[in-house]
Amino acid sequence: MKAKIIITPKKAVLDPQGKTVQNALEHMGYAGVAGVHVGKYIEIDLAPGTDREAAYEALNGAAHRFLSNPVIEDYKLEIVD
């Protein structure tokens, strides 16, 4: 079982990386790119036998306290087999 956490900059936060990637895509000729947001992906391997709900609960806390900064970032947490 794994936990997958996707962290993205909040919409209101300046995202110069996203903007730079967007500009590059446009220069390369990719049309219709309305916005690019560069974030982080964290994958956590969970020990065999871990309780799914307990893991979600604990990692949701960790994502809020440590893995993301709620001032500037949003996150999505998912537990997958």
Partner 1 sequence: MHFAVLQFPASNCDQDCVHAVRVLGHTAEFVWHKDTSLGVADAVIVPGGFSYGDYLRCGAVARFSPVMQAVKQFADQGGLVLGICNGFQILCEANLLPGALIRNRDLQFHCEQVFLKTRNFATPFTSLIPPARPLKMPIAHGEGCYFADPETLAKLQAGQQILWEYCDVTGATTEAANPNGSVLNIAGVANERFNVAGLMPHPDRASEALLGSEDGRFVFESMVATLVEQRRQQAA
Smaller CB distance to partner 1: residue 23 or 52? 23
Q: Which residues lie near partner 1 (CB under 8 A)?
A: 9, 12-14, 16-17, 20, 66-67, 69, 71-72
Judge contact between 63 and 56, C-beta under 8 A: no
Smaller CB distance to partner 1: residue 7 or 55? 7
Smaller CB distance to partner 1: residue 31 or 71? 71
Distances from the Cα of 39 to the Cα of 1, 10, 48, 76, 78, angstroms: 23, 10, 29, 11, 16
Judge contact between 26 and 33, C-beta under 8 A: yes
Provide the minimum distance between the beta carbon of 49 and partner 1 in the complex, in angstroms, as a whole number. 27
